[in-house]
């Protein structure tokens, strides 16, 4: 996995007639979007101290110490006079901030880099703009500002077409497909993801192909859920023929999703790493939703995922993989009580990783999930303590999508212990938090709204 991190961000120095520096950033897209390689050519660096600061920042980044990396990059930025050099360091800072969940800061640094490149009139700068716009749009999408992300990406797709870089085009189309998906426009999402997959196959890049297939599979699952909802409405209205038709469509979508995930597993067999981990977890999520879940297959996939996650360096990806794994193993344990599973151990590991990298949003999810485990075990005081810590971390991270979950769970715990007044206050907090993100939730689930 060391090689994996070196691909993501590295500093190369070439000594010819004069010192030439090249920053190569391999950045991540959160969720299931494609990886985007950002290569920035910059002029000679006059200060050896600046070179050392950037090298130290990259070493810290590779070891998972993102807070320290930010400190080194910030120092380097203050000593960087050249515009292109500053753009490159801003890009590094954006990546590091995203790794610790501080997305507004990441967006701001990408904006700085984008504006610098837009002022340059050369081919290299023109190639960087669509890449960084895609990165920035993904961060907006992660913040729940889905329509803003979509507008940026619609513009960026056209901009990327002016470049011969198929990787950028594939990544941008994948990100646009996810933006369409989050606002419920499944048809446009399908077109974007299919176009992204076509380019990924032309590139013959397993990670890009796997990511595009995952995007498509997740879309198929969402369409299946929509068909099932529509089928339930048809059944209530007494339209048995429409109910049957929609159920068949839902099953067809789930079958297509499973085929896409299985093909993605084949693509990631050689590369392994986070791409294969995400595919295993996504496939398990699908298997859980089947009328008769295959818990044996889910457990087997979980064991393989556990082996893979042990090889990952500490990162935001690792924290969320551990949280998802814990939740899946908890479900396996409920279906098979004799299974020797320890989801709480995985959540403790996720919490440790999140604290190490300084990601308070990931901390909130790990703490809240631990609270749910203690709640299921009937250990109410411990569960309440974890829920309160989860709410505090969500507040520090400005993560309402996490906060409302734990406010609601805390309300349930308080109600179960007879503290009705406190429970009502907690439920009211959850409702208020939901109201703050209501527009995004409605956009995501617009097919569940009545006209």
pLDDT digits 0-9 by tens, 350-392: 999 999 888 888 999 999 999 999 988 889 999 999 999 999 9
Task: Output the average pLDDT for the chain.
Answer: 82
Q: Which strands sit side by side in the sheet containing 9-15, from one edge to the other?
A: 9-15, 19-27, 36-42
What digits encode the pLDDT tens for the residues 187-235?
999 999 999 999 999 999 898 999 999 999 999 999 999 999 999 999 9
Report whether pLDDT(294) > 60: yes
Q: What is the pLDDT at residue 55?
A: 87
Report whether pLDDT(312) > 80: yes
Structure-model confidence comparison of residues 43 and 388, the more confident one: 388
What tokens were used for 338?
């004799």
What digits encode the pLDDT tens for the residues 396-445?
887 887 888 999 999 999 998 899 999 999 999 899 888 776 654 444 33
Specify the length of the chain in residues.
Answer: 451
Structure-model confidence comparison of residues 198 and 311, the more confident one: 198
Q: What is the pLDDT at residue 359?
A: 87
Report whether pLDDT(36) > 50: no
Report whether pLDDT(141) > 90: no
- 51 CB-side CA count, 13 A: 15
Q: Give the range among 285-289, 339-343, 356-360 with minimum mean pLDDT.
A: 339-343
Range among 10-24, 260-274, 331-345 rated most confident: 260-274
**Average pLDDT estimate for 60-88:** 88
Q: What is the pLDDT at residue 330?
A: 84
SS3 per residue for 59-102 = HHHHCCCHHHHHHHHHHHHHCCCCHHHHHHHHHHHHHHHHHCCC
Q: What is the pLDDT at residue 438?
A: 60
Q: What is the pLDDT at residue 78?
A: 87
How many whole angstroms separate alpha carbon 440 and alpha carbon 438?
Answer: 5
> Counting Cβ atoms within 10 Å, is residue 162 exposed (0-12), middle (13-18) or buried (19+)?
exposed
How many whole angstroms separate alpha carbon 60 and alpha carbon 64?
Answer: 6
Q: Which residues neighbour 436 within 8 Å (Cβ) at sequence distance 6 or greater?
A: 400
Measured in degrees and rounded to the nearest 5, phi and psi for residue 310 equal -65, -20
Structure-model confidence comparison of residues 13 and 384, the more confident one: 384
For the chain, how big is the Rg over CA atoms in Å? 23
> Are the CB atoms for 349 and 369 separated by under 8 Å?
no
**Average pLDDT estimate for 252-267:** 95
- Residue 258's pLDDT band (boundaries 50, 70, 90)? very high
Q: What is the pLDDT at residue 273?
A: 84
Q: Which residue has the tokens 């929609």?
A: 246
Q: Which residues neighbour 152 within 8 Å (Cβ) at sequence distance 6 or greater?
A: 133, 136, 137, 140
Q: What is the pLDDT at residue 64?
A: 78
**pLDDT exceeding 70 applies to what percent of the chain?**
85
- Residue 84's pLDDT band (boundaries 50, 70, 90)? confident
Q: What is the pLDDT at residue 79?
A: 86
């Amino acid at each position: 996995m060391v090689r994996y991190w070196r691909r993501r961000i590295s500093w190369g120095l070439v000594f010819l007639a004069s010192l030439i520096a090249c920053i190569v950033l391999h950045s991540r897209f959160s969720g299931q979007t494609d990886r985007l390689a950002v290569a920035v050519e910059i002029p000679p660096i006059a200060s050896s101290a600046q070179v050392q600061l950037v090298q130290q920042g990259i070493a810290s980044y590779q070891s998972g110490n993102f807070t320290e990396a930010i400190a080194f990059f910030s120092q380097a930025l203050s000593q960087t006079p050249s515009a292109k050099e500053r753009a490159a360091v801003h890009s590094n800072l954006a990546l590091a901030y995203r790794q610790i969940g501080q997305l507004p800061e990441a967006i701001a640094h990408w904006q700085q880099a984008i504006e610098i490149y837009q002022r340059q009139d050369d081919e290299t700068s023109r190639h960087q703009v669509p890449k960084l716009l895609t990165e920035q749009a993904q961060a907006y999408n992660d913040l729940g500002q889905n329509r803003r992300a979509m507008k940026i990406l619609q513009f960026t797709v056209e901009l990327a077409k002016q470049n011969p870089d198929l990787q950028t085009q594939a990544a941008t189309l994948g990100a646009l497909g996810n933006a369409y998906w989050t606002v419920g426009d499944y048809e446009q999402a399908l077109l974007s993801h299919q176009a992204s997959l076509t380019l990924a196959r032309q590139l013959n890049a397993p990670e890009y192909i796997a990511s595009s297939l995952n995007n498509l599979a997740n879309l198929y699952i969402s369409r299946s859920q929509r068909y099932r909802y529509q089928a339930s409405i048809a059944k209530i209205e007494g339209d048995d023929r429409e109910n049957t038709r929609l159920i068949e469509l839902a099953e067809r979508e789930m079958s297509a999703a499973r085929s896409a995930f299985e093909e993605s597993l084949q693509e990631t067999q050689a590369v392994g790493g986070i791409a294969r981990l995400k595919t295993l977890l996504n496939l398990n999520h699908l298997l859980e939703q089947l009328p008769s879940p295959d818990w044996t297959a889910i457990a087997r996939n979980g064991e393989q995922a556990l082996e893979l996650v042990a090889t990952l360096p500490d990162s935001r990806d690792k924290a969320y993989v551990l949280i998802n794994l814990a939740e899946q193993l908890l479900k396996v344990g409920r279906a098979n009580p004799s299974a020797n599973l320890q989801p709480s151990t995985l959540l403790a590991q996720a919490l440790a990783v999140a604290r190490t990298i300084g990601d308070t949003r990931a901390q909130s999810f790990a703490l809240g999930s631990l609270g749910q485990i203690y709640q299921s075990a009937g250990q109410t005081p411990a569960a309440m303590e974890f829920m309160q810590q989860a709410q505090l971390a969500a507040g520090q991270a400005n993560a309402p999508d996490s906060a409302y979950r734990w406010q609601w769970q805390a309300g349930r715990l308080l109600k179960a212990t007879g503290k009705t007044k406190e429970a009502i206050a907690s439920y009211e907090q959850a409702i208020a938090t939901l109201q703050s993100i209501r527009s995004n939730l409605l956009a995501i689930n617009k097919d569940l709204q009545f006209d």
